[in-house]
Structure 1
Amino acid sequence: MKNVKLLWQYMKGNRLIYIGSILSIGISTLINVINPLIIRTTIDSIIGDAPVENTGTMFGLIQRLGGVEKLRDNIWMMAILLVALTVINGVFLYLKGKLASTAAESTAKKIKDQLYDHLQHLHYEYHVKAETGDLIQRCTSDVENIRRFLGVQFVEIGSALFILGFVLVIMLNLHLKMTLISMIAVPIIFTFAIIFFKKIKDAFQQYDESEAKMSTVLQENLTGVRVVRAFARQDYEIQKFEEKNSVHRRLTNRIIRLLALYWSSSDLICFLQIALVLIVGAYWTANGTITLGTLVVFTTYEGMLLWPIRQLGRIIGDMGKTLVAVERIQEILDEQREQMVENNERPMIRGNIQFDNVYFEYEKNKPIFDNISFEVKEGQTVAILGPTGAGKSTLAYLMARLYDYQGGSIKVDGHELKDMDKVWVRKNVGVVLQEPFLFAKSIRDNIKLAKPRSSDDEVFQVAKVASIHDTILEFDQGYETMVGERGVSLSGGQKQRVAIARTLIGNSPIVIFDDSLSAVDTETDNEIRNALKSRKNKATTFIISHRITTLSEADFIIVLEKGKITEIGNHTELMNNNGLYRRVWEIQNSIEGQEEIVADKRI
């Protein structure tokens, strides 16, 4: 019931169109119901000698057409009447289809827009954990299931109800006993359909989940195809996909078997019901209990009545699939949106930062930061070193408010970071992430992403600071060069430098380089750092790296280990300690020394 209410909410704004479609199918159904009565009257009273009942719609219609005698001489008029009603019926069927399709497409668009908007505003943590393939499947296949149901089956429910109501009333007025015989199969098929619905709903749930897993494998493989080929893992990936595909095929076959069982069983029941009506009707017609026209009406109505009841299984099946889709979509929409504007505090940010006993954890009782404290002055460069998992990237996430700390305080120019507007924080804290992501646009558009209205001179300037300007000019199309999906046409170092330029163009007073110089050579690294120093409005800069040459020129260096600051100071001070910083320096110096010896021998 909950999912039905949600579906009704999705239809908001299009409900009147659906009502128009249902009214159209109601009129069409009424015309279909009247046609057999016209045929009955023609057979019994115009061709035959049975008197026309002195009451009812048919009597009034015959009188308007000139009476029985006139119609016997001009029987073609009844044929023209049937053709005219068929044309009118076709018009309303067209309206039904057009209105239902229009409303369904509009509803599907609304759901897609709502989903996309909601996904854009979910917490960073949600996207870290969510499977991309599953999200894509929910935003495409599940929405398509809803669109198809609302465009076809939803209106068919109205059609079935109209047929059941109109036909049952007319049949009861014609002959009570014949009506009871004609209705024997209805409760049987209906009960069977309810049982079928319960089974098919679970089957569709598993089917959707298996399709989502298969989509995830496909998405991961296409995204990481270069890694797959580099490690010759094609056979492994093929096998992994085949396993998911086999599960999907098994669940698909289960649905097909359920549908086959329902359709074959309901067909058998329907044909037995029609046979029963024909046998009993023929017997009663022969002994004069009912007229031939009444038999024709009942056999016609029987087909009209059984078809929507039989279709109930398809409708219920599609409804089951739709309600599963609604549930999966609503799981996304129920996720709490990130509140970007909490109290509208937007102070001037210059770059003075103070960490005071900051505590942060991703999982309960597993701290990433355990009461760390340090202070950075405006314009200073801070280097951060630490082993994997020490919390270096987490620091960048906290500064950009992608996550909020659970204890202590982070103040920026005297203002508590938690109390600042998140949009304002992210405009003033530029982060160059470890894995640079570029969109399938031109290099110019990628750089201008943080500041769309920036001039070409600004683009060129930040590209020079990022030491990528000359490289871009060497491309055939220069800054108009398309980088391809995820920046696939550029090397790792080139992507990182474009990402650096994209961050710098925002002129953020705080800039964080999260190991984003790792893919460039030492010389380029040095060029970028020197260019950053020479900028007029020097930002407060955090450099996260394992390269000592990158860290050594910072104003001071923070060494993180197991969620705590174990060392802090400049290069000279840390070299006097026998800590992690010095050990990393000795290892890197040793490697560089060995490389120089090998190079000398080759010469």
Structure 2
Amino acid sequence: MSSNNKKFRSNTDLVLYFLKGNKRFFFLSIIFSILVTFFDLINPKIIQYTVDFCIDDAESDSVPVYLKGIMDALGGREFLREHLYYIAVVVAIVALLTATFRYIFRLCNAQGAEKLIQRMRNKLFEHIMHLPFTWHGENHTGDIIQRCTSDVDTIKMFISEQMLSLFRIVIRIAVAMYFMVGISIPMSIVSGAFIPIIVIYSGFFHNRIRTEFERADTEEGRLSATAQENLTGVRVVRAFGREKYEKDRFVKQNAEYTQLWINLMRTLAAFWSSNDLISGLQVMLITVLGAVFCVQDSITVGEYIAFVSYNAMLVWPVRALGRIISEMSKAGVSIDRIAYIMNSETEEDKENALKPSLKQDITFEHVSYAYENGGADVLKDVSFTIKAGTTFGILGGTGSGKSTLMYLMDRLYDLKEGCGRILVGNTDITDIKASWLRSNIGFVLQEPFLFSRTLSENIGITQKKTDFAEIRAAARIAALDETIEDFSKGYETYVGERGVTLSGGQKQRTAIAQMLVSKPPIMVFDDSLSAVDTQTDARIRHALSENTTDSTVVLISHRIMTLMHADNIIVLDHGRIAEQGTHEQLLAQGGIYKKIYDIQMQGT
């Protein structure tokens, strides 16, 4: 089982865990992002000093030493006045460097983002695969899929776009404000005053956006679950003519989901439009104020041009800063939803878990079990022994606990403290490595699940490498070989999702063959012959008895014909063992078994 049961105390811990192995890409992205920001801010300075120093007659003292040195190296003021294209070449070089650094930044960022999402998907899938069977019963498949797709994409966008943008924005604002203060302190104060205003009102919208996005995200999970259930259960929907009902239900749920997004978009529209209004007001004030200062000779024409350029460069970052704060609300919700999965406890074996032989007696000692929903006990003080190498039958009505017994034996459900124990030989199954236990117990369910693959691939899916002869031999025991031969593509016939292209009996027989390929020492047939006719049932049981002599076979069925040749049979009634014995002994008792036998035999 999974050795990773790490608890993430905060969202930051979870994000850093997902970033493991990819941090270098984002580190390089930050470095080249800083270079892009720096070179973006150089050109306005070059234009400023070109206008003031080369075109106009500003004092050379106003030119920084490093820039004056470059100009002197190019030939001095008079030479540059006659050869302004030199400056144009410098501007072009700076622009080319900026474009190069931006390309490298985007390349590193894209690689980091894709590596991040790859690791997130892998870790989520691995973690989900090791979560308890009960966890899967409590969480809708559609909602889990939505968390692993939409929420993963939201987190990727936050880390690769918004978080890096936040870093770039802070750097850009700091450097631009430094240059702006060097030009005009009053204008810098006016420009900078808008930044805290935007941050404050963004914080005001933050919680509201988060709440509305969380509702929309949760509803999307429900909508995905509805769609997934209808797509996988399309035959049932069609068979009962429920298309209109299911369509109306989906339309209603979709309308609720759409309305939640409309509400969210209204909030975002109010946020973004007010953001744009404040940013536009800032640009207008700086343009007017700069023109006044320029006329009053408080600043030069070059300084005015440079300041307006820097302020224009701040407009997008300042607007984006507010938007990023709002997007952080969405990312926070998505991280919480992913954290719910990653913080769910996976199955863990005991230290030094055992791998004993399972060709031993299986003993249930005073087993009681109730589901987590707080209902009554499904099993009540159940005790019996399944002798190794024998065939054991379990009969009982719906809800009597037949399947639960086998789920407990396979550790799909865990017995609580003081609710009995299950032994293989003298070893408690809780001391056995779960993967070892399950690999040695073959399970065939009443409703088998087949994958969207060929029949051959489905039958051999339990083994890493399976010879076709073994696949065919297993199919022959399951009375499936002749049926497959009638298919145009034989064993290469493609099985649709969940085996939709096969009949119920064909699916059950495919599942039986699938289990037989692995040759487990314990075989459980949970009403897995219910969809086949009595003649085929008899053929399969006869073939099983001849080919599984070394295995312990557990037959769960409502059909006495399936159980009557078992070495021992128990009859469950409301979670308790009402009767136990061979077929003949149970008939002689004249109890529940005898009554069911008489009813079923009347129709033969």
Matched residue, 1:496: 508
Change (3 A) 1:261 1:57: farther
Offset at 1:148? 2.1
Matched residue, 2:597: 585
Structure 2 residue 19 is matched with structure 1 residue 7: no
Checking the alignment, whether the CA contact within 8 Å between 2:350 and 2:430 is kept in structure 1 is: no
What letter corresponds to residue 310 of structure 1 in structure 2? R
Offset at 1:399? 1.6
Aligned with residue 130 of structure 1, among 110, 130, 139:
139
SS of residue matched to 1:575: helix
Structure 2 residue 94 is matched with structure 1 residue 82: no
Offset at 1:536? 5.8
Matched residue, 2:258: 249
Matched residue, 1:290: 299
SS of residue matched to 2:20: coil
Structure 2 residue 584 is matched with structure 1 residue 572: yes
Matched residue, 1:61: 70
Q: 2 CA distance for matches of 1:293 and 1:179?
A: 16
Question: Cα deviation per residue 1:38-67 (whole Å; 9 max; x = unaligned)?
Answer: 111111121111113254433233223222
SS of residue matched to 2:488: coil
Checking the alignment, whether the CA contact within 8 Å between 1:44 and 1:292 is kept in structure 2 is: yes
Aligned with residue 405 of structure 2, among 395, 398, 407:
395
SS of residue matched to 1:553: coil
Aligned with residue 278 of structure 1, among 280, 284, 287:
287
Q: 1 CA distance for matches of 2:408 and 2:13?
A: 39
Matched residue, 2:181: 172
Q: Which moved more, 1:500-509 or 1:314-323?
A: 314-323
Offset at 1:400? 1.3
Checking the alignment, whether the CA contact within 8 Å between 1:33 and 1:167 is kept in structure 2 is: yes
SS of residue matched to 2:447: coil
Report 1:504-523 matches (<5 A). Answer: 504-523=516-535
What letter corresponds to residue 79 of structure 1 in structure 2? A
RMSD: 1.7
Question: Cα deviation per residue 1:78-127 (whole Å; 9 max; x = unaligned)?
Answer: 11111111111111111111111110111010000001111111111111
Structure 2 residue 468 is matched with structure 1 residue 456: yes
Q: 1 CA distance for matches of 2:33 and 2:463?
A: 54
Matched residue, 1:596: none
Aligned-pair identity (%):
40
Checking the alignment, whether the CA contact within 8 Å between 1:4 and 1:323 is kept in structure 2 is: no
How many residue pairs get matched?
Answer: 592
Aligned with residue 47 of structure 2, among 17, 39, 42:
39
Q: 2 CA distance for matches of 1:334 and 1:157?
A: 28
Question: Cα deviation per residue 1:129-149 (whole Å; 9 max; x = unaligned)?
Answer: 221101111111111112222
Offset at 1:257? 1.2
Q: Which runs of 5+ in 2 are unaligned?
A: 1-8
SS of residue matched to 1:367: coil
What letter corresponds to residue 215 of structure 1 in structure 2? S
Checking the alignment, whether the CA contact within 8 Å between 2:394 and 2:569 is kept in structure 1 is: yes
SS of residue matched to 2:571: strand
Q: 1 CA distance for matches of 2:321 and 2:263?
A: 20
Q: TM-score, normalised by structure 2?
A: 0.95
Structure 2 residue 204 is matched with structure 1 residue 195: yes
Matched residue, 2:479: 467
Matched residue, 2:391: 381
Checking the alignment, whether the CA contact within 8 Å between 2:232 and 2:497 is kept in structure 1 is: no
Aligned with residue 540 of structure 1, among 548, 552, 575:
552
Matched residue, 1:480: 492
Matched residue, 1:258: 267
Checking the alignment, whether the CA contact within 8 Å between 1:532 and 1:538 is kept in structure 2 is: no
What letter corresponds to residue 204 of structure 2 in structure 1? I
SS of residue matched to 1:348: coil
Aligned with residue 110 of structure 1, among 119, 125, 128:
119
Q: 2 CA distance for matches of 1:409 and 1:27?
A: 66
What letter corresponds to residue 545 of structure 1 in structure 2? S
Matched residue, 2:5: none
SS of residue matched to 2:345: coil
Question: Cα deviation per residue 1:207-234 (whole Å; 9 max; x = unaligned)?
Answer: 1111111111110110111111111111
Offset at 1:337? 1.1
Q: 2 CA distance for matches of 1:62 and 1:262?
A: 47
